[in-house]
Amino acid sequence: MTETNPLIALAAYLLAIVTAALLLRLIPKIARHLEHSGESRFASIDGLRGYLAFGVFIHHSIITWFFLSTGEFGFPPSNFYSQLGQGSVALFFMITGFLFWDRLLTLGRRHDWLAFAVSRIFRLYPLYLPLMAIVFVTVFYLQNWELKEPGIEFIGQILSWLTFDRPDVNQYPQTGMLIANVTWTLGYEVFFYLALPLTAMIFIYRGNWIQTVLCLIGIYVLYQVVGWEHSLKKHFLASFLGGIAAAYWIRRPQLAAWGKTPLAGLIALLALAIAFTAFNRAFSLGPILLMSGFFVVVASGNPLFGALKPRSIRWLGEISYSTYLLHGFLIWVLVQRLPPLLQLDARESWIFLPLLALCSCLLIIISSVTFLYIEKPGINAGKQTLQWLRQKRKGQKKHAEKAIQQR
């Protein structure tokens, strides 16, 4: 079947990489950003992000193609195209688990939890809020600007979307499909962030048994609260463990050194290939173990024979959050809405494939713009907010000390 041909994904990746390379050449601001950011400690992971986010876009593109043909949303019959979505998300969870657990292991009790909280808020929301606004405006546009819900229910829908849930807005069926329901993963990320201080108390700070029990209870309560509307799945959360394991792996000099070798790179690619072709779901023991084996090699700094090093790939990694959040709406506009307006049938491969090519290029361009003008300013605003909070706290401390001295 044409829809399961892996060459489609290869062509889309090449278009994305070429588009990123052209942007680097034509827009000095992008090149300066990469030069300023320099080679990070985990440059290979930075490169991996770009492949993963774009892989989710391809996954949802193929799902949309099947939806147009069958009228039902479901996983593609191809294991590869299924895993481009689920497998990429599992690896994203591993990246999260690795980066933050590694920081905890490095800093221990010196870890700045205030900076952590502020940085996460200003990382997730500056781009998410405009996307959420686009969804709500689109719904009202499609419904001729008519409010069909009682005010209190509509406010509840807004609050739910603000916490990354996706209830139907204003009775528009399957509202989340406008953005391919991508925000479901953010609920898992938020649970991990909220549970991190408690897990640190158990496994890194290691208090007494009473403290451990209270932390375990706290984690269970968080698990129930964050998954209040749709329960969090334990086997999805298990993929974070692959990243945490990698944080311990790189602390063994012999293992980390072996992870950089060409043999390790070859084994890692083989493990990934098996996970992406032998399984059609990512969140079970076999594929999780295979992808964890792949990930520890990448976390060791292995560039996978140069595949993770080019500047264009690094730029795809920089804009991966924009790519991930925005691709669903772009697919909805260009593949589902535009063809009927032009009296075209997107179920035909000669229509769909050029649209996929157009989406591939536009997605990288749009994501580059939103990164430069929304994400990056948001990150900087987070740093300024943190500085303001520290100064305020410092001022309050001095005021309290002064009050004590005057007594």
The reported pLDDT for the residue numbered 406 is: 67
- 192, two tokens: 């991990």
Q: Which of 90, 61, 142 is nearest to 334 (CA)?
A: 61
- Which whole number is the average pLDDT over 315-335? 97
The reported pLDDT for the residue numbered 311 is: 92
Question: With 90 as the cut, is the pLDDT of residue 180 above it?
Answer: yes
Q: Which of 319, 320, 299, 386 is nearest to 116 (CA)?
A: 386
Question: With 80 as the cut, is the pLDDT of residue 228 above it?
Answer: no
Residue 344 Ramachandran class (φ > 0 left, ψ -120 to 50 alpha, else beta): beta
pLDDT band for 237, please (50, 70, 90 cuts): very high
Q: Which of 269, 271, 276, 235 is nearest to 82 (CA)?
A: 276
Burial of 209 (C-beta count, 10 Å sphere; 0-12/13-18/19+): exposed
Residue 280 Ramachandran class (φ > 0 left, ψ -120 to 50 alpha, else beta): alpha
- Cα 27 from Cα 21, distance rounded (Å): 10
Question: With 70 as the cut, is the pLDDT of residue 43 above it?
Answer: yes
pLDDT band for 359, please (50, 70, 90 cuts): very high
The reported pLDDT for the residue numbered 18 is: 97
pTM of the entire predicted model: 0.94
Question: With 80 as the cut, is the pLDDT of residue 35 above it?
Answer: no
The reported pLDDT for the residue numbered 113 is: 95
Which element (helix H / strand E) includes 2? none
Terminal C-alpha separation, the chain: 83
- Which whole number is the average pLDDT over 295-321? 95
Decide: 168 and 174 in contact? Cβ < 8 Å.
yes
The reported pLDDT for the residue numbered 229 is: 59
Question: With 70 as the cut, is the pLDDT of residue 40 above it?
Answer: no
| Total domains, the chain | 1
pLDDT in tens, 360-397: 999 999 999 999 999 999 999 999 999 999 998 887 77
Residues 6+ apart with CB under 8 A from 100: 116, 192, 193, 196
Decide: 296 and 265 in contact? Cβ < 8 Å.
no
Q: Which of 281, 238, 235, 296 is nearest to 87 (CA)?
A: 281
pLDDT in tens, 4-21: 789 999 999 999 999 999
pLDDT band for 2, please (50, 70, 90 cuts): low
Q: Which of 85, 56, 64, 128 is nearest to 316 (CA)?
A: 56
Mean of the per-residue pLDDT values for the chain?
A: 92
Q: Considering all CA atoms of the chain, what is the largest pairwise distance in Å, rounded to the nearest integer?
A: 83
The reported pLDDT for the residue numbered 103 is: 95
The reported pLDDT for the residue numbered 69 is: 85
Distances, alpha carbon 400 to alpha carbons 114, 386, 387, 392, in Å? 21, 21, 20, 12
- How would you label 144-175 residue by residue, b for 16+ Cβ within 10 Å and e otherwise? eeeeeeeeeebeebeeebeebbbeebbebeeb
- Which whole number is the average pLDDT over 249-262? 96
Question: With 70 as the cut, is the pLDDT of residue 286 above it?
Answer: yes
Residues 6+ apart with CB under 8 A from 381: 122, 126
The reported pLDDT for the residue numbered 141 is: 95
Lowest mean pLDDT across 58-72, 188-202, 252-266: 58-72
pLDDT band for 265, please (50, 70, 90 cuts): very high
Question: What share of the chain in percent tops pLDDT 70?
Answer: 95
Which element (helix H / strand E) includes 404? helix 376-406
Q: Which of 1, 40, 12, 96 is nearest to 314 (CA)?
A: 40
- Cα 285 from Cα 381, distance rounded (Å): 40
Question: With 70 as the cut, is the pLDDT of residue 109 above it?
Answer: yes
- Cα 317 from Cα 295, distance rounded (Å): 16
- Which whole number is the average pLDDT over 123-134? 97
Question: With 60 as the cut, is the pLDDT of residue 168 above it?
Answer: yes
- 131, two tokens: 């996307």
Distances, alpha carbon 283 to alpha carbons 86, 89, 235, 286, in Å? 8, 10, 6, 8
Question: With 60 as the cut, is the pLDDT of residue 143 above it?
Answer: yes
Domain ranges, residue 355? 2-406
